[in-house]
Amino acid sequence: MAYNLLKGKRGIIFGALDEKSIAWKTAMSVHAEGGTFVLTNAPIAMRMGQINELAEKTGAQIIPADATNVDDLDNLVAKAQEILGGKLDFVLHSIGMSVNVRKGRAYTDEKYDFTAKGWDVSALSFHKVMQSLYKADAMNEWGSIVALTYMAAQRVFPDYNDMADNKAYLESVARSFGYFFGKEKNVRVNTISQSPTPTTAGQGVKGFDGFISYAEKMSPLGNASAQDCADYTLTLFSDLTRKVTMQNLFHDGGFSNTGVSQEVIEKFS
């Protein structure tokens, strides 16, 4: 059901890889709500994914950019405004990657150049994106910037590895930059802490299916799907959440506030 929530709004969506990805579903939902955007991803991810198909479906142009490269980001921000015909109203940062996880390195046996790469891609890139937007004065007043995170930033999920540290850093950047963006430009910055979601990125984490079924049993409303997350993101891009900023918003069916559920007790007793 469309409400025209984003009619006339323009933005950038980072990280759509394939139909399972939250960024992909968000792009489809933004399009349905009347928003226009450019899509961007790292050149290597674009070769792996199906981003061209998404661009066709949503009438969006694609601008390749390495989110860790400031020149790429400056170019992206300038080109996006050219293509879309003005300043931006929304940005979605849906990027995360750990080389340690990919290479099967334990948290207690990190290879630190892998750690630095993952941190740059997953967390520092959010600062770089916002700094490019901020310096170019590219955001409209009351615009909205959202990044996706996970509760491993607050609580230990052993196999989530150094991604947990990356997400903690990402959430801190949202608060810190959110202050300056709010104070000076009336732009809001938030993170959505999503349920474990079976995306291509998520499934790279060891024991991920176990994460998902445990969270499902723990959450009173069950896990939030990628589509649910896209819908929630729309509300944050809309004018209905103008005074929500610097928040880490749990979108997890109630998991984050549940100590234990009957299903979990029954499973273990």
Residue 77, token pair as written in the block: 């921000």
Q: DSSP letters along 169-238, please? A: HHHHHHHHHHHHHHHHH--EEEEEEEPP---TTGGGSTTHHHHHHHHHHH-TT-PPPHHHHHHHHHHHHS
- 123 has pLDDT over 90: yes
Helix (H, G, I), strand (E, B) or coil at 61: strand
pLDDT, tens only, 144-178: 999 999 999 999 999 999 999 999 999 999 999 99
Over the chain, what is the mean pLDDT? 96
Q: Tell me which CATH code domain 10-268 carries.
A: 3.40.50.720
CB atoms closer than 10 angstroms to residue 58: 21
Residue 1 has a pLDDT of 65
> Does residue 43 or residue 115 have the better pLDDT?
115
pLDDT, tens only, 83-113: 999 999 999 999 999 999 999 999 999 999 9
Task: Give the separation between CA 75 and CA 81, rounded to whole angstroms.
Answer: 10
Domain coordinates of the chain in residue numbers? Answer: 10-268
pTM assigned to the model: 0.97
